[in-house]
Amino acid sequence: MNLENVLVDKRDRCAYVTLNRPQVLNALDAKTIVELDEVFADAAADAEVGVIVLTGQGEKAFAAGADISELVEHDPLSGGAMAERGQHVLRRLETLGKPSIAAVNGFALGGGCELAMACSIRIASDKAKFGQPEVNLGIIPGYAGTQRLSRLVGKGVAMDLVLTGKIIDAAEALRIGLVTRVVAANELAGAAQEVADTLLNKGPLALRAAMDVIDRGYDLNLDDACRLEATSFGVLCATEDMKEGLGAFLQKRKPEFKGR
């Protein structure tokens, strides 16, 4: 991959992905979206990658939204196409089959907040700020922010955040369930690594199945969602990982999952 706006460091079964445009608060321009798509596709295909950790370069921003200098050039057709491209890339991340951790180190506004919401787990620095302030520009979130936000925090809170365009701090993001953990800024990388290490010790097929069932079952009625879960449970019962996990538990040892 020939990347300029995104840095990737693969080690110890993690892909550390860093948005690298600190001079513009890691704004998500079209090139960055294309590069993220390449990075996520590569991570999905790489058997040596088990977890993705996503953050922003510098101390000020995870990603402070879309690149305004590009937005002003869009008409209805190109604007809709831009939104669909971004939605595709974030949906790829969300359905990758491998857990992703957003380590939110600063502003996560607009597209940046949408990117964080597409991750499996969100950890925030106590200096982080979140918001969907698009209405201040006469537009709305375009990378599925209206949909993921309402699913994460509820329709009423999402409506309030999107309609007012207000920016909230990390403590409020934790209170409403937008993030699951807040740590001091100097502890963020370590906290993300701790979660990544925890996930890497789990059965990869089980992680994939759990994420899939939660994602696809969320909008089903309870009976259909339970059937989906039961089917996935049954499939896992035929795997070597299941036999290894149960055997290790009974033998009081650490399991060695192979993803088979």
User: pLDDT by residue (tens digit) across 83-92?
Assistant: 999 999 999 9
**What integer pLDDT is reported at residue 194 of this predicted model?**
96
How high does pLDDT run on average in the chain?
Answer: 94
Rounded to the nearest 10 degrees, what angle do helices 76-94 and 30-45 cross at? 30
State the CB neighbour count (10 A cutoff) for residue 139.
Answer: 14
State mean pLDDT over 169-191. 97
Predicted confidence (pLDDT) per residue in 63-81, tens digit: 998 777 787 788 888 888 9
Token digits of residue 216? 């696809």
**What integer pLDDT is reported at residue 127 of this predicted model?**
96
Reply yes or no on whether the pLDDT at 182 is more than 90.
yes
Instruction: Report how far residue 44's alpha carbon sits from residue 13's, in angstroms, rounded to the nearest whole number.
Output: 12
Predicted confidence (pLDDT) per residue in 220-236, tens digit: 999 999 999 999 999 99
Rounded to a whole number of angstroms, the distance between the first and last alpha carbons of the chain is 28
**What integer pLDDT is reported at residue 122 of this predicted model?**
98
Predicted confidence (pLDDT) per residue in 131-147, tens digit: 999 999 999 999 999 99
For the 6-200 domain, the top CATH level (class) is alpha beta
Instruction: Report how far residue 258's alpha carbon sits from residue 260's, in angstroms, rounded to the nearest whole number.
Output: 5
**What integer pLDDT is reported at residue 130 of this predicted model?**
98
Which of these, 127, 133, 162, 135, lies nearest to 146 by C-alpha position? 162
Given a contact cutoff of 8 angstroms between Cβ atoms, the answer to whether 100 and 211 are in contact is: no
**What integer pLDDT is reported at residue 115 of this predicted model?**
97
SS (H, E, C) 110-164: CHHHHHHHCCCEEEEECCCEEECHHHHHCCCCCCCHHHHHHHHHCHHHHHHHHHH
Reply yes or no on whether the pLDDT at 20 is more than 90.
yes
Predicted confidence (pLDDT) per residue in 236-254, tens digit: 999 999 998 899 889 988 8
Predicted confidence (pLDDT) per residue in 4-17, tens digit: 999 999 999 999 99
- Which of residues 70 and 257 earns the better pLDDT score? 257
User: What is the share, in percent, of the chain residues with pLDDT greater than 90?
Assistant: 85
Q: Which residues are catalytic?
A: 114, 134
Task: Sketch the domain layout of the chain as residue ranges.
Answer: 6-200, 204-250
Reply yes or no on whether the pLDDT at 197 is more than 80.
yes
Q: 204-250: same fold as 6-200?
A: no
For the 204-250 domain, the top CATH level (class) is mainly alpha
For the whole model, what pTM was predicted? 0.93
